[in-house]
Structure 1
Amino acid sequence: MLYLDDMQVGTKRSFGRYEVTREEVLDFARKYDPQPFHLSDEGAASTHFGRLAASGWHTCAMTMSMFVAEMGVNPQASLGAAGVDELRWLKPVYPGDVLRCESEILEVKPSRSRPEMGSMRTQTTTYNQHDEPVLRFIALALMRRKPAEG
């Protein structure tokens, strides 16, 4: 189990593999972001997307799926997150793309008022199969500190 105390600024890691399917893009769009360019090639043809593109929110959800899978392999003492800053959709994601993630720890900060926990800022970038960044954000994660030995 990795605790806040184990985290070091500058640490980088690569993880995840997510194959984007047409069916999933359409299903997500119908439920959560029913704009024409997320619903059909015809609806996207006259836009800068040119063809059916995944919702940026769907790209966030796929990134989160990869992150949670990574936490299953390398468990962390996570307490959730306090938010996301600087979210940017850098390039469209299309059916057939294969995504992966890279993250870097930017800041580790023990809580002054709650000594059993603290926060960590990480920048995560999601890439497609051409190593082109498609999504970038900074997350503020909350984590438990190592239990006192006793």
Structure 2
Amino acid sequence: MPNTVSSGTYVLTNVRYNNIVNLPDSSDGTPVSASIKSGKDLDKAGYFFDQGNGRYIIQNKGQKTYASVGNRQPVGATVVGRPGSQQYVIEETREQYKYTIATTDTGHYWGLPDSETGSAVELRASPTDKGNWWILTSA
């Protein structure tokens, strides 16, 4: 039986690139981006709110904004911080404790295009690409 994610505070680490998710400021539209691990991981952490049926809202702890891409966005769209929330589906991959985060409307997955610090999290097509897999570490 797959592991489910409970509501709580997590640091998101990309499986392929080992970068964490960061939202550098609270401005509307600031891209969610790759960062290196540091002593400030809790500031980069996100609150995950279980909405039921595998749907979640993700809010940045430090900036108090929500991860959003908007409705019906194509592959390549950037995940940004917004004042309003958006729901996502979080499911465990075939490897235990590694998850995908997908939009509820198009089913595209959060992913990183490369290992560079500052690269934006974007929507990607493949649920099997480890660049689109995440480890959620309780913070």
TM-score of the superposition, structure 2-length normalised? 0.29
Q: Rg larger in 1 or in 2? A: 1
Normalising by the residue count of structure 1, what TM-score does the alignment of the two structures yield? 0.28
